[in-house]
Amino acid sequence: MAGEFRFGVNMITPGGADEWRAKCRRAEELGFDVILVADHLGMPSPFPALVAAAEATRRPRVGTFVLNAGFWNPALLAREVATTDALTGGRLELGLGTGYVRAEHDTAGLPWGSPGQRVDHLRHVVEELDRLFDSAEYRPRPVQRPRPPLLIGGNGNRVLGLAAERADTTAFTGARSVPGDKDGRLQHITPEELDERVAFHGGAAADRETPPELNLLVQLVAVTDDRRAGIQSFKEHLPDLGEEEILALPLLLVGTVREIADQVRAQRERYGFTYITVLEPYLEMFGAVIKELRTG
């Protein structure tokens, strides 16, 4: 598979105005295409943070990665989306998911619901946003018509099916929720399991003239000459896997800059991932990989 890469960084650390703008400008300098903000309690509030990111930069798009649909009423969300799209000059990309941290819902006093109920609510939010933005009478209007590009993230059949049907981008987590864990702990899936998830989504999107772009959220970037040493800090999270199995996980990028670039290219060929998102702590390290991918 071929395709031009896009690279996003998910900003997760709160900070003051000057610090925030400086981080966003640095992401632009390093070649990131999208500046993203998560939707977790204790992290920056997505929409004002994205407006500030757009004001501090010129080229990157901005987006949510991803909004916890259970936090949002669709009518209120539509107002936030349209206003943010206008204030960022039409640079917004809207990412949505079901949410996976029950403790956050408990803290916010919001219902958690069963997995099926959370997927039902996600679908309701997506359908209501499309209905509102399709109306010529709706105000405020987003700059992008009929709405900003939609990313849906998840791993289960119903969420991937919804993404295949409605989304412009489908984001794969490379992990599944641990049943009954209130803190949102995740279990990493194997490369073979990810093959199956991508194939399922591809089948569900087979009738679309333009299938969704495929995104992968990377959990670790470690630039090192010793790949085994690079995963030591992560091994405690994967007690049931050996070192070779850990190094094979698609969401861990470990090695020299060239080795990581080769890994990203290989995963594009195997899975079709052309949009790669990394977490804020790996901003600088992955910047070197972006340069290698674009010039090497």
Nearest CA among 111, 193, 114, 112 for reference residue 160: 193
pLDDT above 80 (res 100): yes
Nearest CA among 46, 62, 45 for reference residue 54: 62
* Sign of the CA dihedral with 92 first, then 93, 96, and 100 last: negative
Residue 102: per-residue pLDDT: 94
pTM of the model as a whole: 0.95
CA dihedral 173, 176, 182, 184 (to 10 degrees): -20
Beta strand pairing call for 186-188 and 175-177 = antiparallel
Tell me which DSSP letter residue 174 carries. Answer: S
Categorize the per-residue pLDDT at 258 as very low, low, confident or very high, splitting at 50, 70 and 90. very high
For the segment 152-184, what is each residue's pLDDT rounded down to a tens digit?
999 999 999 999 999 999 999 877 767 676 665
Nearest CA among 101, 103, 85, 83 for reference residue 93: 85
In whole angstroms, what is the distance from residue 191 CA to residue 247 CA? Answer: 11
pLDDT above 70 (res 255): yes
| Distance of alpha carbon 261 from the chain centroid | 20
> Percent of the chain having pLDDT more than 90?
90
What is the pLDDT averaged over residues 242-246?
92
pLDDT above 60 (res 263): yes
* Sign of the CA dihedral with 150 first, then 154, 159, and 160 last: positive
pLDDT above 50 (res 252): yes
Sequence-distant (6+) residues with CB within 8 A of 100 are: 177, 184, 186
What is the pLDDT averaged over residues 229-235?
88
Task: Return the CATH number of the domain spanning residue range 6-219+257-295.
Answer: 3.20.20.30
- Start-to-end Cα distance in the chain: 19
Q: Where are the domains of the chain?
A: 6-219+257-295
pLDDT above 80 (res 19): yes
- 176's enclosing H/E stretch is strand 175-177
For the segment 178-210, what is each residue's pLDDT rounded down to a tens digit?
767 666 566 788 999 999 999 999 999 999 999
What is the pLDDT averaged over residues 33-38?
98
